[in-house]
Amino acid sequence: MTTASSEGSRRDFLLVATGAVAAVGAAATAWPLVSQMNPDASTVAAGAPIEVDLTPIAEGQDIKVFWRGKPIYIMNRTKKQIDEARQVPVSELRDPQTDQSRVKEGHDNWLVVIGICTHLGCIPIAHDGNYDGFFCPCHGSQYDSSGRIRQGPAPLNLPVPPYQFVSDSKIQIG
């Protein structure tokens, strides 16, 4: 005989199971998009430059790609993020760099940084922290929307990898 409580828990299980399938489905659909933007594994392993199509990255969003085994964040910054990054006096920064020196002129909305915390090498989370930039959960370093260190133990800004625009909507990293 089935009790009310065991029916309840079976129903809960089914709901959880359905949710899990939905989550896997979402991950499976997101992956091809990112994977299309990456070259094949042998090219990456060889350290060759990679090209990234920026078209799918809406304003306020970011993606992470891998170049030479390193995570690279590409962020399409909002005007608010750009303004905030440019309003802070550079002399107050721990690793003083202007926002302008960290982006390409004429493409000021695009921030491209190596996503490795300069403290002990964790991968920070984008669009998090007090500065709408990056937050490193390992020891609490906070980077601003220019990837500059603003709070916490990290000594330096997130590095900008070598890259160039090959068209208005495509960059080559490396």
Minimum distance of ligand FES from residue 139's CB (angstroms): 3
Across the beta sheet with 50-53, the strand order is: 50-53, 170-173, 163-167
Residue 139 annotated in active site: yes
Nearest CB to ligand FES, comparing residues 34 and 138? 138
Q: Does 154 bind ligand FES (CB under 6 A)?
A: yes
Closest CA to 120 of 156, 75, 68, 92: 156
What one-letter code names the amino acid at 132? D
Q: Are 132 and 81 in contact (CB under 8 A)?
A: yes
Which range touches ligand FES (CB under 6 A), out of 22-30, 89-97, 131-139, 161-169? Answer: 131-139
Minimum distance of ligand FES from residue 35's CB (angstroms): 27
Nearest CB to ligand FES, comparing residues 113 and 136? 136
User: For 152, left (φ over 0), alpha (ψ -120 to 50), or beta?
Assistant: left
Which range touches ligand FES (CB under 6 A), out of 14-22, 30-38, 70-78, 115-123? Answer: 115-123
